[in-house]
Amino acid sequence: MTADRERALLRKVGEAIHRFRMIRDGDRVAVALSGGKDSLTLLEALLRLARKAPVEFSVCAFTVEQGKFLRPIEPLGEWLRARGVAWTYYRDAPSFRLLEQEPDHGCDLCSRYRRRAVYEIARELGANVIAFGHTADDFCEALLRNALFTGKLSALPPVAWSRQKDFRLIRPLVFVTEQLTAAFAGALGAPVIPCGCSQKTGTVRRSIRDLFADLEQDYPHLKENLLSAMGNLDPNRLLDNRFREDGDQARPAAAAELLRVVTDL
């Protein structure tokens, strides 16, 4: 990992934090470590930024075990402890019961269980912000998946609130590609603990990943362009009348009547 790449990573994380006001003075940020390269990169980037950022914030980390890791978690704990990181490991008993009772349960149930555990741990850690390691790749894939399969032009929220508004949920790797997190985590020598689900093939996610990989051979800046597009909407060239200049409010009564007649046909 060259110093240039490291600077690029910190600049991109800093830009996301600044643009979306992710972190504020006095925040305690809990990083959700999934065991993968992305969240490890996020943790390290936040630790480095906390040392030199103009705002004061503290960083801790935690991992929720839901019975899907393919390797023992201990090496990760040892590595974090050696670096002086405050890390909490939480074996989520309800998730293990779910795995026993419904081994083929889907992502909806699994992520609902994880969300409950994440909030519980963050509360115990005294955190008011929870940071997730979703990358630029995840944002681009989500955009395509939502547009193609749910009929909605949306990706992921860079900042959101938990339902009770007690936690700010942030995704500071929004501008960081997985090419960069792989290089950074590799250079750190961090032990990556793979999740069984990441090996699944034949899923929609896998197809979209393959599509990107194919296109990126000829168009290497595809994801940068998609990220720019997400921050540069032209509502007049889309079909949502709530945001078009001549949208619902501007439609004359005669046109509304014509629409009613046509839809009654």
Provide, rounded to whole angstroms, the least separation between the CB of residue 107 and ligand SF4: 3
110 contacts: CB under 8 Å, gap ≥ 6? 66, 95, 98
Closer residue to ligand SF4 in complex, CB, 197/229: 197
- The DSSP secondary structure of 203-227, one letter per residue, reads SHHHHHHHHHHHHHTT-TTHHHHHH
Residue with tokens 């115990």: 124
56 vs 194: CA distance, rounded Å: 33
List the one residue from 1, 197, 211, 215 that touches ligand SF4 (CB under 6 A): 197
In whole angstroms, how far apart are CA 128 and each of 31, 90, 101, 121, 142? 11, 18, 34, 11, 26
Closer residue to ligand SF4 in complex, CB, 36/191: 36
| Cβ atoms < 10 Å from Cβ of 54 | 5
Provide, rounded to whole angstroms, the least separation between the CB of residue 146 and ligand SF4: 17
Provide, rounded to whole angstroms, the least separation between the CB of residue 95 and ligand SF4: 9
Q: Which residues pair with 131 in a beta bridge?
A: 31, 170
Tokens matching residue 22: 């992710």
Binding residues for ligand SF4, total number by CB under 6 A: 6
User: Which residues between 139 and 178 bind ligand SF4 (CB under 6 A)?
Assistant: none
Give the x-and-dash track for 97-136 against ligand SF4 (CB under 6 A): ----------x--xx-------------------------
List the one residue from 68, 209, 244, 251 that touches ligand SF4 (CB under 6 A): 68
81 vs 241: CA distance, rounded Å: 54
Q: Is 195 in the site for ligand SF4 (CB under 6 A)?
A: yes
Provide, rounded to whole angstroms, the least separation between the CB of residue 111 and ligand SF4: 5
Provide, rounded to whole angstroms, the least separation between the CB of residue 197 and ligand SF4: 3
Binding site residues, ligand SF4, CB under 6 A: 68, 107, 110-111, 195, 197
